[in-house]
């Protein structure tokens, strides 16, 4: 597929990296900064074009006329929307995805589509990251909570700890432990390596376990893996930027939220928008301020400023001062790996959160949702199966009969409103949504092929 | 050291195994014509494949993804080592030593076209084909070919492409994927070659000569099947066809591709290099023709124009095919041709030398300096063909030209020290480093490089490889930082 990415910022670069790794994609990146582009071209097999992303001339040079997907990820909403509009009006580009941050645009549905701005899909990285953090706060103990089928099924990543009833037991005993709930373990990572989850696999202390379950069963399963943590009540947020502000707005109804912002003007603005949050003006790395605001009784401290170094330091400081759980927003994947083994509980990588929603739109077949996991090494995705028993390699077959590529597990089937946890004797029907977990995303093409139907159908 | 070279050797082993396959082409030919070199080719192919396979197995443990410096190293290693392998059939069949076989193969692969062989018309057809085939493979680049047909080079592809394709600005690709770009370039190259072969056949050559000369013309190689080179045919249509295709091969292949995909010649008009090259060639051909006519070398102007055109275009584009012993012309004409060979070919072409784009950049930079003296506060970007050239590129060009001239000067001194006369040393080194072919003096068009001593032959082989890889890629091997972990 021919793809043009506008903007070589954090998200743009990550998208280029993920997309160009797949042999079938031809990626061109457009940005104003030639140095960034040269650096990018040295590392990835892509073409780069320097220039204004919303200029038809530049888009032409980038080959817009034959492009299948335009992904506009510059840091200006207006440039992104205009570029999509130009691509559609002049070149009828089939699919246009734009990053649109401002809720001012996104909350007006009629603005996009048929008679509006020609943006097929809009993504707001800030919104996605906020939702991601909010889910983590609602499920204390989870490392990752990812939605499928509009939130009816969730994939939860959790570190198994001594004290959970299932730890030290074989996986198949899960059903005996919690007969009422149904769940499926999709992957286990032990010391960074993937372990194939089978009935006889024993969960050990310190394993990272990914399981799929219906929303209402999640807490029950989590209780099996580690001692239950008390629900979060007090939240301290460092940084009143886009993400901090949104998160505070989302949580302030149910939790007691404090927000620390360094810039007095911004602090004032944030306090005007929010109603119940305590907005504080000051430095999140100021020990006195944190102590004064009872950091030791905070259930969660989330460092969400623009500077990742500041986030790491203030989160470490908060942890030492007694915050129960600390999170830090970190852009560099290598940093994230470094610190998650240290005193910071959860490193949030915005690109991996965002990239999943982009990937869903460029996959072959009908892929509804993609989540990128383990710094992009693994992937979880929701696929809709189409066709009938004659032309599909999955429909009308029992799960045990489907030959999945290595490292792939089929976790759940969503049929209409029902969530069916995938056991070997379930038969796949047309229009089912299947939820798959790939421990090695290099097998993605094989998975795509499996769901694209047979040769006679093509 | 071991960790740096062995992963590269692993990939090189694969290139070698593929290269063994190309030896089967002359072998098939030899089988068909029942010529006596058949065993040499089969043996060489088997030996090359076996060597490659052994190396591949031995270095399997070191397999990893290539990094920037590995790319440079792979290209350098390939170009230095492949001539040795490609020389096997010549070495085993002909009564020449390894030095000469290496020279002949390097001359082919680097598209120089200088030869150590005489009595070429008496060689088996398969050997003749192999020489021209080597030129043709080397023309667009061995590694670029490998990138096009093997998906093995992965992420490092861009660095490799850059190390092998001539020209200062190689960041713009025709397509997003390096593999596809390489395929397109080879497709254009193959298409033009086929067209050239067809035209040569129509102009009166037999099929075998047409194929060999088509390979030579498009790769700007210079090997012919006759001692008298193209002069053997003494045919105006053949000279016209060859001149036309030599000029095409000296233009940027990206422009050819654009022109073909847009079905128009607009791409050439947008190509500042193409315009400059055509201008310089036209003026030079007419100028040299007039010069030869007034000097009395040729009594009739049409004869002067015919001989001047073919030989000037051929040497200027670094092809090296010739019809006349131009060394006998008054010294201005051959020296001017040798000078042109330094600058005329376009970046992204199969020609050698400094390339026209660098010449343009330097000329404009000099002009900018002059203007700066008059207007100290002048702000003027350096533009070529309406496109602003970044200062970074200007510096790279300056660095390249310095290294190029220092290489030329050093190697000339080496040849002088070895006892050669001045004209021979100068022309041999310039002809070799520009991949032009014949020089003047002892190595002029009427004789060949066979007269050189072994040491002098090795110096010339080195000059050819230096020139083909634009100096940097070879010299970087001698920088200590490359070898440090």
Which of B68, B159, B176 has the CB atom closest to A47's CB atom?
B176
User: What's residue A456's pLDDT?
Assistant: 37
Question: Which structure tokens are listed for A301?
Answer: 């401290």
> Comparing B134-138, B281-285, B351-355, which segment has the lowest mean pLDDT?
B351-355
Chain A residues contacting B via beta carbons under 8 Å: 2, 20, 23, 26-28, 34, 38, 41-48
> Comparing A390-394, B381-385, B443-447, which segment has the lowest mean pLDDT?
A390-394
User: What's residue B170's pLDDT?
Assistant: 55
Pick among A47, A50, A63, A64 to test the B interface (most B CBs inside 10 A): A47
If you average pLDDT over each of A184-188, B169-173, B283-287, which comes out highest?
B283-287
Residue A68 Cα, gap to closest chain B Cα (Å): 14
Q: In this model, does residue B264 exceed pLDDT 50?
A: yes
> Comparing A295-299, A370-374, B264-268, which segment has the lowest mean pLDDT?
A370-374
Q: Are residues A336 and A402 in the same domain?
A: no
Residue A38 Cα, gap to closest chain B Cα (Å): 8
> Which whole-number Å values give the CA distances from A246 to A10, A77, A242, A272, A282, in the listed order?
20, 18, 6, 13, 19
Computed over its alpha carbons, how large is the radius of gyration of chain B? Answer: 22
Q: Which residue has the higher pLDDT, A313 or B144?
A: A313
Of chain B residues 272-311, which have a CB less than 8 A from chain A?
none
Residue A37 Cα, gap to closest chain B Cα (Å): 10
In chain B, the residue whose alpha carbon lies closest to the alpha carbon of A44 is B155
User: What's residue A345's pLDDT?
Assistant: 85
Chain centroid offset of residue B154 CA: 26
Integer Cα distance of A223 and A163 in angstroms? 9
Q: Are residues A376 and A435 in the same domain?
A: yes
Cβ–Cβ of B177/A38 closer than 8 Å? no
Model confidence over B381-392: pLDDT tens digits? Answer: 888 888 888 888
Residue A128 lies in a domain: no
Burial of B323 (0-12, 13-18, 19+ CB in 10 A): buried
Integer Cα distance of B338 and B432 in angstroms? 11
Residue B155 Cα, gap to closest chain A Cα (Å): 6
User: What's residue B302's pLDDT?
Assistant: 93
Integer Cα distance of A3 and A62 in angstroms? 10
CATH code of residue A160: 3.30.70.1450
What residues contact B83, with CB distance under 8 A and at least 6 apart? B102, B105, B106, B109, B461, B465
A27 and A5 in contact (C-beta within 8 Å)?
A: yes
Q: String of b and e for A397-428 (b: at least 16 CB within 10 Å)?
A: eebeebebbebbbbbbbbeeeebebbeeebeb
Residue B184 Cα, gap to closest chain A Cα (Å): 15
User: What's residue B175's pLDDT?
Assistant: 77
Model confidence over B352-371: pLDDT tens digits? Answer: 888 898 999 999 999 999 99
Q: In this model, does residue A203 exceed pLDDT 90?
A: no
Cβ–Cβ of B175/A26 closer than 8 Å? yes
Three-class SS state of A435 = strand
Q: Are residues A210 and A280 in the same domain?
A: no
Interface check for B177 against chain A (CB to CB < 8 A): the answer is yes
Q: Are residues A344 and A396 in the same domain?
A: no
Q: Are residues A17 and A33 in the same domain?
A: yes
Choose the final residue of a domain: A172, A192, A225: A225
> Which whole-number Å values give the CA distances from A450 to A352, A393, B20, in the listed order?
25, 6, 38
Q: Are residues A335 and A271 in the same domain?
A: yes
Pairing of strands A418-421, A408-415: antiparallel
Which of A2, A26, A45 has the CB atom closest to B155's CB atom?
A45
> How many CA atoms lie within 13 Å of A312's alpha carbon, on the beta-carbon side?
16
Which of A38, A42, A47 has the CB atom closest to B175's CB atom?
A47
B226 and B117 in contact (C-beta within 8 Å)?
A: no
Name chain B contacts of A36, Cβ cutoff 8 Å.
none
User: What's residue A458's pLDDT?
Assistant: 35
| Overall size of chain A counted in residues | 458
Q: Are residues A110 and A7 in the same domain?
A: yes
- Average pLDDT, stretch B278-289? 95
Q: In this model, does residue B93 exceed pLDDT 60?
A: yes
Residue A319 lies in a domain: yes
Per the structure, the count of domains in chain A is 4
- Whole-angstrom distance between the N-terminal and C-terminal Cα of chain A? 17
A171 and A185 in contact (C-beta within 8 Å)?
A: yes
B351 and B277 in contact (C-beta within 8 Å)?
A: no
| Overall size of chain B counted in residues | 485
Cβ–Cβ of B171/A46 closer than 8 Å? no
Q: Are residues A114 and A6 in the same domain?
A: yes
A139 and A222 in contact (C-beta within 8 Å)?
A: yes
Q: Are residues A286 and A247 in the same domain?
A: yes
Question: Which structure tokens are listed for A10?
Answer: 């954090």
> Comparing B221-230, B332-341, B413-422, which segment has the lowest mean pLDDT?
B221-230
∠ at Cα B427 (B422, B430), nearest 5°?
125
CATH code of residue A14: 3.40.50.720
ipTM over 0.90: no
Q: Give the residue among B100, B348, B120, B307 at the shortest CA–CA distance from B220.
A: B348
Pick among B65, B176, B396 to test the A interface (most A CBs inside 10 A): B176
Interface check for B157 against chain A (CB to CB < 8 A): the answer is yes
User: What's residue B160's pLDDT?
Assistant: 65
Which of A27, A38, A43 has the CB atom closest to B176's CB atom?
A27
Q: Are residues A239 and A255 in the same domain?
A: yes
Q: Are residues A175 and A115 in the same domain?
A: no
User: What's residue B155's pLDDT?
Assistant: 46
User: What's residue B159's pLDDT?
Assistant: 64
What residues contact A7, with CB distance under 8 A and at least 6 apart? A30, A31, A53, A72, A73, A74, A75, A80, A99
Residue A286 lies in a domain: yes
Cβ–Cβ of A42/B157 closer than 8 Å? no
Which of B158, B172, B390 has the CB atom closest to A45's CB atom?
B158
Residue A67, strand partner residues: none
Name chain B contacts of A20, Cβ cutoff 8 Å.
176
User: What's residue A43's pLDDT?
Assistant: 80
> Which whole-number Å values give the CA distances from A270 to A286, A308, A355, B270, B319, in the listed order?
20, 21, 28, 54, 72
Name chain B contacts of A44, Cβ cutoff 8 Å.
155
In chain B, the residue whose alpha carbon lies closest to the alpha carbon of A17 is B155
Integer Cα distance of A9 and A71 in angstroms? 13
Q: How many CB pairs lie under 8 A apart between chains A and B?
A: 32
Q: What percent of chain A has pLDDT over 70?
A: 97
Interface check for B390 against chain A (CB to CB < 8 A): the answer is yes
- Whole-angstrom distance between the N-terminal and C-terminal Cα of chain B? 8
Pick among A45, A62, A442 to test the B interface (most B CBs inside 10 A): A45
User: What's residue B149's pLDDT?
Assistant: 65
Q: In this model, does residue B416 exceed pLDDT 80?
A: yes
Q: Model confidence at A364, in pLDDT bands (50, 70, 90)?
A: low
In chain B, the residue whose alpha carbon lies closest to the alpha carbon of A24 is B177
Model confidence over A90-137: pLDDT tens digits? Answer: 999 988 999 998 888 888 888 887 788 888 888 888 888 898 899 888
- Average pLDDT, stretch B286-298? 93
Name chain B contacts of A67, Cβ cutoff 8 Å.
none
Interface check for B387 against chain A (CB to CB < 8 A): the answer is no
Which of B154, B171, B180 has the CB atom closest to A38's CB atom?
B171
Residue A129 lies in a domain: no
> Comparing A242-251, A333-342, B192-201, B238-247, which segment has the lowest mean pLDDT?
A333-342
Cβ–Cβ of B155/A23 closer than 8 Å? no
Question: Which structure tokens are listed for B369?
Answer: 């300096």
Edge-first strand listing for the sheet containing A193-195:
A142-148, A153-159, A208-214, A183-190, A193-195
User: What's residue B166's pLDDT?
Assistant: 67
Residue A409 Cα, gap to closest chain B Cα (Å): 29
Residue A133 lies in a domain: no
Three-class SS state of A72 = strand
Q: What is the DSSP letter of B249?
A: H
Residue A122 Cα, gap to closest chain B Cα (Å): 25
Residue B250 Cα, gap to closest chain A Cα (Å): 25
Cβ–Cβ of B158/A23 closer than 8 Å? no
> Which whole-number Å values give the CA distances from B388 to A38, A426, B397, in the listed order?
17, 64, 15
The distance between the two most distant Cα atoms of chain A, rounded to a whole number of Å, is 71
Interface check for B190 against chain A (CB to CB < 8 A): the answer is no
Choose the final residue of a domain: A317, A348, A379: A348
Computed over its alpha carbons, how large is the radius of gyration of chain A? Answer: 23
Integer Cα distance of A440 and A447 in angstroms? 11
Cβ–Cβ of A41/B390 closer than 8 Å? no
Cβ–Cβ of A26/B176 closer than 8 Å? yes
Residue A134 lies in a domain: no
Residue A326 lies in a domain: yes
In chain B, the residue whose alpha carbon lies closest to the alpha carbon of A37 is B171
What is the extent of the structural domain holding A201? Answer: 141-225
User: What's residue B261's pLDDT?
Assistant: 83
Q: Give the residue among A59, A139, A41 at the shortest CA–CA distance from A346.
A: A139
Question: Which structure tokens are listed for A151?
Answer: 């939130």
B310 and B289 in contact (C-beta within 8 Å)?
A: no
User: What's residue B456's pLDDT?
Assistant: 94
Residue A136 lies in a domain: no
- A239 Rama sector, left if φ>0, alpha if ψ -120 to 50, beta otherwise: left
Q: Give the residue among A438, A455, A456, A457 at the shortest CA–CA distance from A447.
A: A438
Average pLDDT, chain A: 85
Q: Are residues A393 and A414 in the same domain?
A: yes
Burial of A188 (0-12, 13-18, 19+ CB in 10 A): buried
Q: Give the residue among B80, B68, B81, B58 at the shortest CA–CA distance from B6.
A: B58
Whose tokens are 């082989």? That residue is B461
Choose the final residue of a domain: A123, A157, A190: A123
Q: In this model, does residue A398 exceed pLDDT 60?
A: yes
Q: Give the residue among B439, B358, B432, B371 at the shortest CA–CA distance from B402.
A: B358
Integer Cα distance of B303 and B291 in angstroms? 12
Calculated CA dihedral for residues A403, A407, A412, A416, nearest 10 degrees:
-60
């Amino acid at each position: 597929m021919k793809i043009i990415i506008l903007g070589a910022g954090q998200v743009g670069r990550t998208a280029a990296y993920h997309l160009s790794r797949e042999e079938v994609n031809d990626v061109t990146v457009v940005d104003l900064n030639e140095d960034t582009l040269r650096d990018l071209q040295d590392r990835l097999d892509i073409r780069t074009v320097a220039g204004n992303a919303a200029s038809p001339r530049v888009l032409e040079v980038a080959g817009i006329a034959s492009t299948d997907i335009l992904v506009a990820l510059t840091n200006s909403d207006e440039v992104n929307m205009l570029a999509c509009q130009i691509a559609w009006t002049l070149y009828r580009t089939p699919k246009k995805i734009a990053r649109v941050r401002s809720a001012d645009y996104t909350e007006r549905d009629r603005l996009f589509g048929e008679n509006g701005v020609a943006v097929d899909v809009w993504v707001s990285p800030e919104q996605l990251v906020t939702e991601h953090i909010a889910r983590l706060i609602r499920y204390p103990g989870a490392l990752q909570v990812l939605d499928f089928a509009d939130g009816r099924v969730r994939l939860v990543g959790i570190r198994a700890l001594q004290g959970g009833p299932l730890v030290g037991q074989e996986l198949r005993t899960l059903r005996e432990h919690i007969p009422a709930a149904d769940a499926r373990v999709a992957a286990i990572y032990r010391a960074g390596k993937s372990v194939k989850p089978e009935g006889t696999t024993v969960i050990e202390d310190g394993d990272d376990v990914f399981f799929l379950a219906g929303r209402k069963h999640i807490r029950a399963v989590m209780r099996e893996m580690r001692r239950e943590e008390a629900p979060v009540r007090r939240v301290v947020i460092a940084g009143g930027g886009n993400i901090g502000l949104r998160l505070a707005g989302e949580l302030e109804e149910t939790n007691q939220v404090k927000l620390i912002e360094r810039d007095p003007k911004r602090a004032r603005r944030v306090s005007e928008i929010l109603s119940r949050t305590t907005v504080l003006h000051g430095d999140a790395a100021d020990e006195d301020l944190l102590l004064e605001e009872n950091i030791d009784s905070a259930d969660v401290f989330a460092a969400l400023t623009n500077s990742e170094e500041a986030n790491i330091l203030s989160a470490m400081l908060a942890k030492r001062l007694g915050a129960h759980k600390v999170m830090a927003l970190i852009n560099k994947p290598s940093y994230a790996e470094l610190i998650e083994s240290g005193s910071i509980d959860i490193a949030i990588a915005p690109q991996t959160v965002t990239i999943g929603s982009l990937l869903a739109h460029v996959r072959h077949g009908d892929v509804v949702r993609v989540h990128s996991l383990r710094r992009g090494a693994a992937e979880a995705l929701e696929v809709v199966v189409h066709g009938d028993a004659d032309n599909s390699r999955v429909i009308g077959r029992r799960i045990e009969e489907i030959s999945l590529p290595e490292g792939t597990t089929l976790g759940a089937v969503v049929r209409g409103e029902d969530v069916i946890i995938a056991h070997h004797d379930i038969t796949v029907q047309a229009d089912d949504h299947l939820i798959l977990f790939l421990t090695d995303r290099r097998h993605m093409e094989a998975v795509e092929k499996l769901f694209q139907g047979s040769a006679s159908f093509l | 050291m071991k960790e740096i070279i062995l992963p590269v050797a692993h990939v090189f082993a694969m290139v070698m195994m593929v290269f063994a396959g190309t030896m089967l082409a002359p072998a098939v030919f030899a089988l068909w014509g029942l010529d006596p070199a058949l065993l040499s080719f089969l043996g060489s192919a088997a030996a090359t494949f076996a060597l490659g396979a052994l190396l591949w197995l031995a270095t399997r443990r070191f397999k990893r993804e290539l990094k920037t410096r590995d790319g440079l190293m792979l290209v350098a290693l390939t170009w230095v080592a492949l001539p040795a392998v490609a020389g096997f059939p010549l070495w085993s069949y002909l009564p020449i030593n390894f030095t000469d076989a290496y020279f002949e193969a390097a001359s082919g692969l680097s598209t120089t076209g200088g030869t150590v062989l005489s009595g070429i018309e008496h060689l088996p057809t398969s050997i003749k084909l192999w020489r021209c085939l080597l030129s043709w493979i080397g023309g667009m680049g061995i590694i670029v070919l490998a990138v096009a047909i093997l998906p093995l080079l992965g992420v490092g592809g861009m660095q490799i492409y850059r190390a092998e394709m001539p020209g200062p600005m190689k960041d713009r690709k025709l397509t997003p994927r390096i593999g596809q770009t390489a395929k397109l370039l080879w497709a254009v190259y193959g298409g033009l070659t086929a067209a050239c072969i067809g035209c040569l056949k129509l102009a009166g050559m037999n099929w075998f000569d047409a194929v060999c000369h088509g390979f030579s013309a498009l790769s700007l190689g210079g090997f012919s099947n006759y001692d008298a080179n193209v002069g053997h045919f003494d045919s105006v249509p053949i000279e016209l066809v060859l001149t036309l295709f030599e000029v095409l091969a000296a233009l940027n292949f990206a422009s050819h591709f654009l022109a073909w995909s847009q079905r128009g010649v607009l791409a050439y008009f947008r190509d500042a290099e193409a315009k400059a090259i055509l201008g310089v060639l036209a003026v030079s051909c007419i100028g040299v023709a007039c010069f030869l006519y007034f000097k009395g070398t040729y009594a009739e102007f049409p004869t002067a124009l015919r001989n001047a055109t073919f030989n000037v275009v051929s040497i200027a584009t670094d092809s090296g095919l010739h019809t006349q012993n131009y060394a006998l012309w008054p010294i201005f004409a051959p020296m001017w041709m040798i000078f042109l060979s330094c600058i005329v070919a376009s970046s992204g072409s199969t020609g050698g030398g400094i390339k026209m784009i660098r010449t343009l950049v330097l000329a404009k930079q000099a002009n900018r300096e002059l203007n700066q003296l008059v207007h100290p506060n002048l702000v003027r970007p350096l533009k070529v063909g309406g496109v602003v050239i970044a200062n970074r590129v200007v510096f790279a060009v300056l660095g390249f030209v310095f290294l190029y001239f220092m290489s030329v000067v050093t190697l000339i001194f080496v040849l002088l020290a070895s006892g050669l006369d001045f004209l021979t040393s100068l022309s041999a080194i310039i002809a070799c480093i520009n991949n032009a072919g014949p020089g003047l003096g002892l190595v002029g068009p009427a004789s060949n490089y066979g007269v050189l001593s072994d040491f002098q032959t090795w110096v010339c082989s080195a000059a050819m490889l230096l020139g083909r890889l634009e100096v940097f890629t070879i010299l970087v091997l001698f920088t200590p930082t490359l070898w440090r972990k």
